[in-house]
Amino acid sequence: MKDGAKDGQVINFDEARKARIEERRRKYERVLFRHVLGAYGVAEGEGLKAIELVDLSTDGLSFQLPHGSKNLGAVKVGHEMVFRIYFSEQSYIPIGVKIQNQRPYIEEGRTYERFGCAVDKTMRSYETYRLFVEFLRKYAETAHQDSGDMKIFFF
């Protein structure tokens, strides 16, 4: 076959679509976390520590800190923390997490320590968090990139 597919190979378009949606969701999460939401970890006895959220799911989340960050000392595999996801300067939802793993990561030439966490589903705020994750999924499925094709006038 000209397109490189093997004879009799079945292409699952549903799986390909799901993979594209998942990649878009992750892209939107990263943009959202870097430019709109603030995220901090509360380390026992050390106060708030700024973190950079990477991905969210209903079961867990991942975050990263620059390699050499002074905040790395407060984050250890096996420890439990409470994250604060700020939606405004003074309001947040708390999310309980347990740090499951740590690995080095390189992005755009910068090195980070990336952490994977399990989310505490027993916290009262978990339902709000779950709905927020669901919102991100739906948003990624239907959002459009602004290409600047519309002129906006302010009066």
137-149 confidence digits (pLDDT tens): 888 778 777 777 6
Q: For residue 114, tell me if it sits in a domain.
A: yes
Work out whether the CA dihedral 58, 82, 69, 99 comes out positive or negative: negative
Q: Is residue 128, in this structure, part of any structural domain at all?
A: yes
Residue 61 lies in a domain: yes
Question: What's the number of domains the chain is made of?
Answer: 1
Domain extent, residue 49, equals: 37-133
What band does 5 get if pLDDT is binned at 50, 70 and 90? low
Task: Please report whether residue 90 resides in a domain.
Answer: yes
Q: Is 82 a member of any domain?
A: yes
Q: Is the per-residue pLDDT at 151 higher than 70?
A: no
Report pLDDT for 2.
Answer: 47
Residues 77-116 pLDDT 10s: 999 999 998 888 888 999 999 999 999 999 889 999 999 9
Q: According to the model, what pLDDT value does residue 98 have?
A: 96
Domain with residue 78: its CATH number is 2.40.10.220
Give me the pLDDT at residue 59, please.
Answer: 94
Is residue 43 assigned to a domain?
yes
Q: Is residue 154 part of a domain?
A: no
SS (H, E, C) the chain: CCCCCCCCCCCCHHHHHHHHHHHHHHHHHHHHHHHCCEEEEEECCCEEEECEEEEECCCEEEEEEECCCHHHHHCCCCCEEEEEEECCCCCEEEEEEEEEEEEEEEECCEEEEEEEEEECCCCCCHHHHHHHHHHHHHHHHHCCCCCCCCCCCCC
Whether residue 68 is contained in a domain is answered as yes
Confidence of residue 14 (pLDDT cuts 50, 70, 90): confident
Mean local confidence (pLDDT), 41-47: 73
Average pLDDT taken over every residue of the chain:
81
Q: How far is CA 17 from the centre of its chain?
A: 20
**pLDDT, mean of residues 54-74:** 89
pLDDT at 56 over 80: yes
The reply to whether the predicted model has a pTM over 0.85 is: no
